[in-house]
Amino acid sequence: MVFPEYRPRRMRRNETLRALIRETRLSPDQLILPLFVMPGKGKREEVGSMPGVYRMSVDQLGREAQDCLAAGVKSVILFGLPEKKDPMGSGAHARDGIVQRAIRELKNRAPEITVVTDVCLCEYTDHGHCGCLIGDRVDNDTTLELLAKTALSHAQAGADIVAPSDMMDGRVAEIRATLDEHDLSMVPIMSYAVKYASAFYGPFRDAADCAPQFGDRRSYQMDPANSREALREATLDVEEGADILMVKPAVAYLDIIARLHDEFDLPIAAYHVSGEYAMIKAAAQKGWIDEKRVMAETLLSIRRAGADIILTYFAKEMGRLLLNA
Ligand code: PBG
């Protein structure tokens, strides 16, 4: 069928027709809100480079959870700012660590919320790398045990899903085995399977105080130039027992999301990261773009590329927009 017999504009004539043939939809229950938890009481500090995002103390989480639920958002992912850092990142798996306390608080105050935890060492090591060091090299195999201990302590504190973001080889298998040995075989692993060494993490590193003190993360995170390697990374994580595959960042990597969606039958998550959020906020503050429309179009594009789940700092704003639509 060609013009003039076929006219695509026929089905765009009004909103009801457009809605009938809409291929992609976004719903608040597909969104996960990242939360930064800090020590202290009654604390709520806005992150300079992320307007609308706060670091908060554990006692604030009940209220935050209610805000999420009111926006239709049912899942959060926790990042912790520990009181002290050390070379091995021991705060990551402390029984009474910041994230472990945050999990218990959320489970007590808002049991309806699904609590995901980021499993990584970089917020807890004094050198800021995601694993432990031998000399100035981030050592893979000695890090695995620490990651598994961290995931286990999160699951024992009540986490619903653990999400390793460190990019060490073999960590999904190690975490799965450790959880299973401790009767936690029902706790899923959302693997940051395809995580690039990206400049878009800049504002997050301010928020979570986890910039590496020397060097960078390119010896463990992926080279932004590679897409076939993404399939190999994802294949490994599937074989090791991942339940959800994540791509990160999202917008600059929509092609990778689409490839994973085509090649794998596991659910796909995408992390719309701090820099992607900050750019929209900054342009909107200057009055250069319509923030709500750009937010909605961006998150929709991530879904259209093939993500089932989106981790985004816009979760509450997007949720409210969808509920009021
Ligand atoms: C921890 C971690 C990072 C992010 C999520 N988990 C930072 C990094 O790898 O440097 C980034 C999230 C964001 O930018 O929003 N490894």
Q: For tokens 């594009």, name the residue.
A: 301
In a domain, 199, yes or no: yes
Domain carrying residue 132: 25-323
Ligand 1 centroid, distance to 315 Cα (angstroms): 17
Decide: residue 59, CB within 10 A, 0-12 exposed, 13-18 middle, 19+ buried: middle
- 216 CA from centroid of ligand 1 (Å): 13
Residue 187: its pLDDT value, please? 98
Crossing angle, helix 228-240 and helix 171-181, to 10 degrees? 20
Tell me what pLDDT residue 325 has.
Answer: 85
Residue numbers of the chain with a pLDDT score lower than 70:
none
Question: What does the alpha-carbon distance between residue 91 and residue 125 come to, in Å, rounded to a whole number?
Answer: 8
Instruction: Provide the number of structural domains found in the chain.
Output: 1
Q: Examine residue 101 and state whether it is found in any structural domain, yes or no.
A: yes
Bridge-based pairing state of the strands 44-47 and 244-248: unpaired
pLDDT for 222 equals: 98
Annotated catalytic residues are: 195, 248
274 pocket-lining for ligand 1 (C-beta < 6 Å): yes
Question: How remote is the CA of residue 203 from the centroid of ligand 1, in Å?
Answer: 9
Cβ–Cβ under 8 Å, residues 62 and 110? yes
Please give the distance, rounded to the nearest whole angstrom, from the Cα atom of residue 204 to the centre of ligand 1: 6
Amino acid at 48: G
| Side chain identity at residue 46, one-letter code | E
The reply to whether 4 falls in a domain is: no
Share of the chain above pLDDT 70, in %: 100
Backbone angles phi, psi at 51, to 5 degrees: -55, 135
User: Is 148 domain-assigned?
Assistant: yes
Q: What is the pLDDT of residue 248?
A: 98
Structural domain contains residue 233: yes
Give the tokens for residue 74: 């049912």
Nearest-atom number in ligand 1 for the CA of 277 is 15
> Looking at the domain assignment, is residue 289 inside a domain?
yes
Residue 314 in contact with ligand 1 by CB distance below 6 A: no
Q: Is the pTM of this model over 0.95?
A: yes
How many degrees, rounded to 5, is the angle at CA 97 between CA 91 and CA 103? 135
The domain that contains 136 carries what CATH number?
3.20.20.70
- Residue whose CB lies within 8 A of the most ligand 1 atoms, among 33, 165, 279, for a mutation test: 165
pLDDT given for residue 1 in this prediction:
87
Instruction: Please list, in sequence order, all residues whose beta carbon lies within 8 angstroms of the beta carbon of residue 223, skipping any fewer than 6 positions away.
Output: 196, 197, 229
Domain contains 9: no
Q: Is the CB of 201 under 6 A from ligand 1?
A: yes
224 domain-assigned: yes
- Please identify, by atom number, the ligand 1 atom nearest to the C-alpha of residue 79: 6
Is residue 184 within 8 Å of residue 141, measured between CB atoms? no
Task: Tell me if 187 sits within 8 A of 162, measured CB to CB.
Answer: yes
Q: Are 243 and 234 in contact (CB under 8 A)?
A: no
273 lines ligand 1 (CB under 6 A): yes
State residue 170's pLDDT score: 98
Q: How much is the pLDDT for 249?
A: 98
What local confidence, expressed as pLDDT, does residue 294 receive? Answer: 98
